[in-house]
Structures are given as structure tokens and as C-alpha cells.
């Protein structure tokens, strides 16, 4: 696992890209979850 933690900004960027390309749809929820977990 990487040493960089997911941030809310990164999760938004990933979700936006996934919406535009219609790829990695399943990763959007994981990115948001990881960002919320790392914020604590």
C-alpha cells in the first residue's frame, strides 16, 4: 500500500474523472470512503 493517504480533494478529482470517462465507477465509493477514514 502507498504511503500517501487519500484526501477529500483527491477523492473528488478521481470521482470527476470517473464520471467523465465512465470508467472506474466502482472505485469512486472506495476513494470517498478512504478520504473520510483518513480525515479522522
- Give me the pLDDT at residue 1, please: 54
Distance CA 21, CA 38 (A): 26
Q: Which domain holds residue 21?
A: 8-39
Would you say residue 3 lies in a domain? no
Would you say residue 1 lies in a domain? no
Q: How many domains does the chain have?
A: 1
Would you say residue 2 lies in a domain? no
Q: Read off the C-alpha cell for 5.
A: 493517504
The residues near 14 (Cβ < 8 Å, ≥ 6 apart) are 24, 27, 28, 31
Own/partner long-range contacts of 28-37 (Cβ < 8 Å, ≥24 apart)? 31/6, 34/5, 34/6, 35/6, 35/7, 35/8, 35/10, 35/11, 36/8
Would you say residue 17 lies in a domain? yes
- Give me the pLDDT at residue 2, please: 65
Q: What is the pLDDT of residues 28-39, one digit of tens each?
A: 888 888 888 888
Amino acid at each position: 500500500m502507498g504511503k500517501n493517504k487519500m484526501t477529500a480533494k483527491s477523492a473528488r478529482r478521481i470521482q470527476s474523472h470517473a464520471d467523465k470517462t465512465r470508467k472506474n465507477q466502482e472505485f469512486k465509493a472506495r476513494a470517498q470512503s478512504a478520504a473520510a477514514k483518513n480525515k479522522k
